[in-house]
């Protein structure tokens, strides 16, 4: 087996945390009934708040899991909260002894409350590749059956991969335990409260996640996945909240591309920066050479195996927003389940509507077949791209200094906008999310070490500005169309760009005029950093943005690794 049960993992049971002991005891209660994906589906259909639509569930998935042939997509609609709640998170291992004791006691009380309800559990496996598989158990109430069904869709039902799992390499990792209890009651002001108390309790050292008072499926998915990412870090891999695809140039019609072989390219960015657009683009807007072959690993979550120099997928499905998918969109053919959608009567049929008509953040679980050809492992990334909405950056930078490359990832950022009704000062204040992963629950310096190792193993790093580049002011920007960025992606993959130093930032490079004009005529003059209007003000904002990056890293735990800390800070020094 891949991961280990509690009894197998802990040579000394006293090393197990009380949080895991509480979760393990509940999981093994004789009254907790184990169900499979078929029973979860039947129970979900009867759950309050669930609507059975007339949209057929993706046929291939129905056949894979022996679901009813006429299985329909269900919609699970929630109330006030229709997204993840970061304020509800409490990190057990960051608390002092007194607070830990409190969390342990409150969890025991919550479990006692849970046991007044009929309880169910289900088993799944995280990891699509036979060499990286972790078993997980989800314990909850019968009233939460829809989330059990969604969870089994999002990962792999244990019984569907039991034989493969039991023959996979043993990992020095505990099985994951997820506990959820929607009906939790508690009036303690220590916990987040939005009409009712909420707690997302994270115990990453012992692979336990607890959701109390939280209905949204994204809490179950990302909570479980967070344990997977963290487990990968614990065994020396790099955790990636990003998308990655592999292009095979050996099949191109023009033999001049054949020597490029297979090349993987990964994208990391916050919402709206183009991560999915770049990962899922069929042919990069028509710029890839004819005859290429493409496979996608995933558009949201994977792990880089540094020892074996390859990448592995965690999940068989996609959990996508549907705000840009109207009725009749071809992606509905891949639908498995929906959350927080309006449902319309169209010619006597119940049809879910996307486009966020009922509420923001409508979501769909979609079969990975939507991506076209997909794989469970792919080659080590030849290129990693940080996607940022930073108006002071040119459309593309090659980060030729590894410390600058990792500093830009560690200080990956976005900007607020005027629609958020914030002050001018706040408009210029960057929002940082290191490596675009808001689900990191371990020290940032561990991610820095992991990505430095990715660089040392031969990956190249780039930065794409997906916002717009200063033209005359921070409000008057030179647009950077998606087609331009897709063209740049292909040029990077095919080694079509030659690079020259960007004088303002040592270690960063921009395309040479001669090389880029062959690919995108007019690009060099349009985006030349030296031809910004009101260049003095531009340089002042550029210095301000990089000082914010320096300040962010200076205040982080990266300082616990002094050599890397100093190298990253030095790499962010401008020369203007």
Q: Indicate which CATH number applies to the domain containing 493.
A: 3.90.228.20
Contact by Cβ (8 Å): 391, 474: yes
For 452-473, what is the mean pLDDT?
Answer: 97
Reported confidence tier of residue 422, pLDDT bands at 50, 70, 90: low
DSSP secondary structure letter of residue 374: B
Q: How many CA atoms lie within 13 A of 139 on its CB side?
A: 26
Query: Is residue 331 situated within a structural domain?
Result: no
Query: Is residue 370 situated within a structural domain?
Result: no
Residues 31 and 174 in one domain: yes
Reported confidence tier of residue 414, pLDDT bands at 50, 70, 90: confident
Residues 391 and 526 in one domain: yes
Query: Is residue 155 situated within a structural domain?
Result: yes
End position of a domain, from candidates 212, 237, 262: 237
Say what the pLDDT of residue 272 is. 83
Cα 299 to chain centroid distance, Å, stands at 8
Residues 219 and 87 in one domain: yes
For 81-104, what is the mean pLDDT?
Answer: 96
Residues 199 and 256 in one domain: no
Residues 270 and 417 in one domain: yes
Residues 202 and 97 in one domain: yes
For 198-216, what is the mean pLDDT?
Answer: 98
Six token digits for residue 417: 């906008």
The answer to whether residue 425 scores a pLDDT higher than 80 is no
The answer to whether residue 424 scores a pLDDT higher than 90 is no
Residue 115 belongs to what domain range? 6-50+78-237
Residues 265 and 229 in one domain: no
Residues 137-151 pLDDT 10s: 999 999 999 999 999
Query: Is residue 448 situated within a structural domain?
Result: yes
Query: Is residue 373 situated within a structural domain?
Result: no
Q: b or e along 289-312 (b: 16 or more beta carbons within 10 Å of the residue's beta carbon)?
A: beebebbbbbbbbbbbbbeeebbb
What is the rounded CA–CA span in Å between residue 397 and residue 505?
Answer: 10
Q: How many domains does the chain fold into?
A: 2
Exposed, middle or buried by CB within 10 Å (0-12, 13-18, 19+), for 453?
middle
Residues 91 and 184 in one domain: yes
Residues 415 and 438 in one domain: yes
Residues 96 and 233 in one domain: yes
Residues 159 and 270 in one domain: no
Residues 268 and 210 in one domain: no
CATH number for 100: 3.40.449.10
Reported confidence tier of residue 421, pLDDT bands at 50, 70, 90: low
Query: Is residue 559 situated within a structural domain?
Result: yes
Query: Is residue 67 situated within a structural domain?
Result: no
CA-wise closest residue to 101 among 190, 202, 18: 18
Residues 240-267 pLDDT 10s: 999 999 999 999 999 999 999 999 999 9
Query: Is residue 321 situated within a structural domain?
Result: no
Reported confidence tier of residue 195, pLDDT bands at 50, 70, 90: confident
């Amino acid at each position: 087996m891949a991961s280990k049960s509690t009894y197998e993992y802990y040579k000394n049971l006293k090393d197990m945390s009380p949080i895991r002991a509480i979760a393990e005891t509940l999981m093994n209660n004789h009254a907790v009934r184990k169900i499979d994906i078929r029973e979860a589906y039947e129970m979900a259909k009867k759950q309050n708040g669930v609507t059975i639509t007339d949209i057929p569930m993706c046929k291939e998935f129905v056949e894979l899991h022996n679901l009813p042939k006429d299985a329909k997509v269900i919609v699970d609609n929630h109330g006030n909260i229709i997204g993840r709640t970061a304020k509800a998170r409490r990190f057990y291992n960051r608390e002092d002894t007194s607070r830990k004791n409190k969390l342990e006691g409150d969890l025991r009380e919550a479990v006692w409350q849970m046991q007044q309800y009929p309880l169910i559990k289900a088993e799944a496996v995280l990891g699509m590749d036979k060499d990286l598989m972790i078993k997980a158990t989800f314990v909850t109430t019968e009233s939460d059956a829809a989330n059990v069904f969604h969870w089994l869709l999002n990962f792999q039902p244990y019984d569907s991969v039991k034989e493969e799992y039991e023959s996979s390499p043993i990992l020095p990792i505990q099985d994951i335990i997820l506990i959820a209890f929607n009906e939790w009651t508690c009036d303690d002001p220590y916990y987040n409260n939005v009409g009712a108390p909420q707690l997302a309790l994270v115990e990453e050292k012992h692979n336990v996640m607890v959701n109390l008072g939280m209905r949204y499926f994204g809490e179950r998915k990302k909570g479980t996945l967070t344990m997977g990412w963290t487990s990968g870090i614990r065994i020396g891999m790099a955790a990636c909240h990003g998308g990655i695809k592999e292009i095979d140039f050996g099949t191109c019609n023009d033999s001049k591309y054949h020597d490029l072989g297979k090349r993987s390219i990964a994208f990391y960015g916050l919402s709206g920066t183009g991560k999915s657009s770049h990962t899922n683009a069929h042919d990069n807007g028509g710029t890839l050479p004819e005859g290429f072959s493409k496979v996608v690993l995933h558009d949201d979550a994977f792990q880089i195996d540094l020892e074996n120099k390859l990448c592995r997928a965690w999940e068989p499905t996609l959990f996508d927003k549907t705000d840009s998918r109207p009725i009749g969109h071809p992606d509905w053919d891949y639908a498995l389940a929906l959350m927080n959608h309006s449902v319309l009567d169209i010619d006597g049929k119940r049809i879910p509507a996307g486009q966020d008509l009922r509420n923001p953040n409508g979501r769909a679980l979609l079969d990975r077949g939507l991506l076209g050809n997909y794989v469970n492992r792919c080659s080590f990334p030849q290129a990693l791209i940080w996607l940022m909405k930073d108006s002071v950056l040119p459309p593309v930078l090659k980060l030729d200094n590894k410390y600058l490359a990792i500093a830009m990832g560690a200080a990956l950022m976005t900007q607020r906008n005027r629609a958020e009704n914030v002050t001018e000062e706040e408009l210029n204040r960057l929002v940082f999310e290191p490596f675009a992963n808001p689900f990191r629950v371990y020290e940032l310096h561990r991610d820095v070490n992991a990505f430095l190792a990715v660089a040392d193993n031969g990956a190249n790093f780039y930065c794409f500005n997906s916002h717009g580049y200063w033209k005359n002011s921070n409000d008057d920007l030179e647009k950077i169309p998606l087609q331009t960025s897709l063209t740049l992606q292909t040029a990077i993959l095919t080694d079509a760009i030659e690079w020259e130093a960007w004088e303002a930032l040592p270690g960063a490079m921009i395309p040479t005029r001669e090389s880029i004009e062959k690919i995108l005529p007019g690009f060099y003059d349009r985006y030349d950093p030296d031809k910004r209007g009101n260049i003095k003000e531009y340089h002042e904002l550029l210095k301000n943005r990089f000082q914010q990056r320096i300040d962010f890293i200076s205040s982080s735990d990266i300082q616990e690794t002094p050599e890397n800390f100093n190298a990253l800070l030095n790499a962010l020094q401008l020369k203007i």
